[in-house]
Amino acid sequence: MTGRKYPIGVQSFRKLRMLNYPYIDKTHYIEPLLQGTAFFLSRPRRFGKSLFLSTLASYFRGEKELFKGLYIEEAEERMARAEGREPWLEHAVLYIDLNISNYNAVEVLNVRLSNNLANLEEEYGVPVLSDLLPSERFAQLIKNVYQKTGRKVVVLVDEYDKPLLHSLSEGARELHEQYRKILAGFYVVLKSSDEYVRLAFLTGVTKFSKLSVFSGLNNLEDISLDPAYAGLCGITEAELLATFSEDIDTLAQQLSYTRAELLEFLKSEYDGYCFSTNNVHVYNPFNVLNVFKKGILGSYWFATGTPTFLVEMLRDRQYDYPSLDKDVMVTLVDLENPHELIDDPIQVLYQAGYLTIKRFDPARRRFALGFPNNEVRYCFLNLLLRALLPTKVNLTVKETDLFLDEIEKENVEGFMTRVHALLAALPYPTNVTVETVEWTYQSLFYLLFHLMGQHVRTEEHSILGRADFVLETATTVYIFEFKLWSAGTPEEAIEQIRKQGYAEPYRSCGKPVRLIGVSFDTEKRNIGEWKEEAL
């Protein structure tokens, strides 16, 4: 703990500035927005979307005192002179906040919309129209406020998609469709009321393709992938060093790290998010602030939301888990105009921040997605492992370490005994295919090894074929080949490793290479025999 105040959970720009919290100046992003009329920004949760909306609200309310020393203070004076207007003109700001925890019924959404509109009607002293539908009431509110103030209004919508995200699971399709219809009618008001709107800015986690705000509101500019706004949410490397340099030194001393060691850890755990084609990376601000406040290098962001339905979807579709940690290829069209996300877990994983942009190929207009950092990688893989295991099998971090202990001691016998015990706890499968069994067991091995923090490869390619599993520790390389469902003996598995050249890439690695053949007991649905040989 550094003793400094940190704005964890603070979404009010006014509060942040009045209480003198550390603030990374993002006001230079306001200037280009003033040249347009309607924008949409998608970013993962807890990346600062709400704070930026609050910053916009304070700017348009003319709260000049809050911007002292920031970029926009001088820029506003300059823009006002160029446009022949008074600086810091005050506009009515209609702030719609849909960020509540649980949308479990249509009534919840209707009440939330109604409460937002009622508060705004009271704030600006216009007629209360509670007998109208939310969409009709919204349209009338915009017009009434415009007529009363004599200036176009600013509409800011925070977490526009929260109800839709809460109804993404397979069992909530009907509720999801009801929400979609209500919100489509509500947001399309921004198009019909365009003559009264100075600026509309919507934020959310996802871009739902079938929501008419994106088809009906044809002047809505999606800046989610725009390189000009790549650093709008999150903390860049330069911003981290400029704003938190003393905090880094203090924390490093508390944890007995050098400054360089701490920076390397922060980068591997919390950096790596990329939201554009220009390879600008940002740190997760929620993690950074929590680490400095609490002095513990924890997984704070991941703990605030569990993507259970996504994990279940990946499991039910027998998704190739190792590919999540390689290159998941998507097109520019996929990210700019996504399919209905309820049917595409990869796009939801990207939008929600569990995958991020690793590379962009402009020639093919294609992105490679992957885990942004170690926090997300290991926490997400742990969830995948737990989804494969029955509830009674609680594979804790301590128990995972026991597997690691055996490998580090090069005790393959002990390790295989523990794996046998783990597989014995799985429920007895019925009516399953050979492919399903192979996927289940290969996935279990991959996740288990990966969570032990080792260098893991599955189906590693060689010239003549690919090994089922390669585990590389600091001292030894293990190459596994599994023979499931009476497909062969351990000896035959080892012979396949040799014949197909699976070990050839490791002959010059300077480490001993161990070949391990494993057969599967069809009746017991578990490891039967296994054999180990040196290369």
Residue 464: predicted pLDDT: 59
Token readout for 366 is 């294609």
Residues 6+ apart with CB under 8 A from 413: none
Q: Note whether 491 and 531 are within 8 A (CB).
A: yes
Residue 390: band (very low, low, confident or very high) from pLDDT cuts 50, 70, 90 = confident
Lowest pLDDT segment from 1-10, 71-80, 229-238: 1-10
Q: Does the structure show a pLDDT above 60 at 83?
A: yes
Residue 408: band (very low, low, confident or very high) from pLDDT cuts 50, 70, 90 = confident
Q: Note whether 382 and 448 are within 8 A (CB).
A: no
DSSP structure class, residue 319:
-
Residue 430: predicted pLDDT: 63
Query: How many other C-beta atoms lie within 10 A of the C-beta of residue 403?
Result: 20
Q: Does the structure show a pLDDT above 60 at 249?
A: yes
Q: Does the structure show a pLDDT above 60 at 213?
A: no
126 vs 174, residue with greater confidence? 126
Token readout for 490 is 């351990």
Give me the chain's average pLDDT, please: 89
Tell me the percentage of the chain whose pLDDT exceeds 70: 90
Query: End-to-end distance of the chain based on CA atoms, in angstroms?
Result: 50
Residue with tokens 């207007």: 85
Alpha carbon distances (Å) from 53 to 25, 153, 157, 399, 462: 14, 15, 8, 45, 52
d(Cα 95, Cα 145) in Å, to the nearest integer? 13
Lowest pLDDT segment from 57-61, 236-240, 469-473, 505-509: 469-473
Q: Note whether 259 and 252 are within 8 A (CB).
A: yes
Q: Does the structure show a pLDDT above 80 at 456?
A: no
Residues 6+ apart with CB under 8 A from 246: 2
Helix (H, G, I), strand (E, B) or coil at 453: coil
Average pLDDT over residues 205-227: 75
Q: Which of 99, 176, 189 is nearest to 135 (CA)?
A: 189
109: enclosing H helix or E strand: helix 106-124
Residue 190: predicted pLDDT: 93
Residue 270: predicted pLDDT: 98
d(Cα 382, Cα 484) in Å, to the nearest integer? 25
pTM of the model: 0.89
Average pLDDT over residues 301-321: 87
DSSP-assigned states of every residue in 83-100: HTS-TT----EEEEE---
Average pLDDT over residues 389-400: 68
pLDDT 10s digits, 142-193: 999 999 999 999 999 999 999 988 887 767 889 988 998 999 899 999 999 9
pLDDT 10s digits, 96-120: 999 887 898 999 999 999 999 999 9
Q: What is the 3-state secondary structure (H, E, C) of 350-370?
A: HHCCCCEEEEEECCCCEEEEE
Residue 260: predicted pLDDT: 97
Alpha carbon distances (Å) from 24 to 51, 59, 107, 361: 11, 16, 39, 31
Q: Note whether 91 and 153 are within 8 A (CB).
A: yes
For the chain, the 3-state helix, strand and coil shares in percent, each to the nearest 5, are: 50, 15, 35
